[in-house]
Amino acid sequence: MSAFDKYPLGKPAFVTHTLDRAAHLRTNDEKLFALENQRNASAYVIYRDSLLVKQEADGPRVLLGVEEAVKLGANPGTVFLGLRDGAPIFGMGISAAAVEKLMPRDDVAVTELRGMAMQGTVPPEQLSAIAMAKSMVTWHQRHGYCANCGTRTAMKDGGWKRECPSCKAEHFPRTDPVVIMLVTHGDRCLLGRQKQFMPGMWSCLAGFVEAAETIEDAVCREIFEESGIRCTDVSYYMTQPWPYPSSLMIGCSARALNEDIVVDRAELEDARWFSRDEVALMHRREHPDGLFAAHPFAIAHHLIGRWVHGDKDTAA
């Protein structure tokens, strides 16, 4: 099975849920401590955009025992992610100094998560929990001080809250909403390129939802700002958690009202219209000029594929 086969249409990475989040356990410190010390307690160890993995004969093992993770240098503070088949799963961080000590070893590696997901080396059913671990660990690393008074805060509720001992303010993890959309005009769709894309890659346009803005307004605003295209008939498709560092991709489609593109070069390298037949070749990575669409692990691939196959909601 190829990496492409692991993400069938409608099932991008990070969306398959196999954990019971067991939120009722988060405020029970005694129970959480007992869970963390169970022999079957496991953890995903996060370092920046990467995972600490054990190198084994049948491939990398991404889920480590909690005791095993601590011995490798992971930070003792854990985030309770939930239960999988009754076994507790945690998220843990690891310092740059600890990672440096591991680099000479052959039995462990620190591997970039995006690459592992794209290559299919991580079972898709584990990616949702990994995304949760990455988002939560990153949030704690970036929000150690109270935004209200500047005092060092403490982890509470199994890692799902930080509390200020001085002003008593409570701080909770945030998720940043991002709209990503396929814009169509008749039998063509609008795709763009960013400078950091691989040569030949084109994808859907996207942007953050701003304060006090609806999803529909964000879709229309972002498309106009980046391409000069006015849109209408915005419809929702699906969402994808995106742990870079902690976004929620909101997949939508929209119908264009004009055709003349004015590219915002600060945001995009280029944008253009593609016919359905051409996009079908890009989607299958069979385009004669080597052009291709987004990888199946990303929601953009599924927005495009849905339109290629003639979904009634996006074919207008």
Half-sphere exposure of 310 (CA within 13 A, CB side): 1
pLDDT of 17 reads 82
pLDDT of 184 reads 98
Question: Counting beta carbons within 10 angstroms of the beta carbon of residue 14, is it exposed (0 to 12), middle (13 to 18) or buried (19 or more)?
Answer: buried
Q: Which long-range contacts (CB under 8 A, 24 or more apart) does 193-196 make?
A: 193/268, 193/269, 193/270, 193/271, 194/267, 194/268, 194/269, 195/269
* Average pLDDT along the chain, 316 residues, taken 10 residues at a time: 84 93 97 96 97 95 97 94 97 98 96 94 94 97 96 98 98 97 98 97 98 98 98 98 97 98 98 98 97 97 95 46
42-47 and 64-65 beta bridge pairing: antiparallel
pLDDT of 311 reads 66
pLDDT of 289 reads 97
247-256 and 176-185 beta bridge pairing: parallel
What is residue 38's DSSP assignment? Answer: S
Query: In order of start, what are the domains of the chain with their CATH numbers?
Result: 3-142 (no CATH), 144-172 (no CATH), 176-308 (3.90.79.10)
Both structure tokens of 249: 């991709």
Q: What angle do CA 179, 295, 142 make, to 5 degrees?
A: 55
Alpha-carbon distance of 272 to 82, in angstroms, equals 44
pLDDT of 316 reads 36
Question: Counting beta carbons within 10 angstroms of the beta carbon of residue 37, is it exposed (0 to 12), middle (13 to 18) or buried (19 or more)?
Answer: exposed
pLDDT of 18 reads 84
Alpha-carbon distance of 303 to 307, in angstroms, equals 7
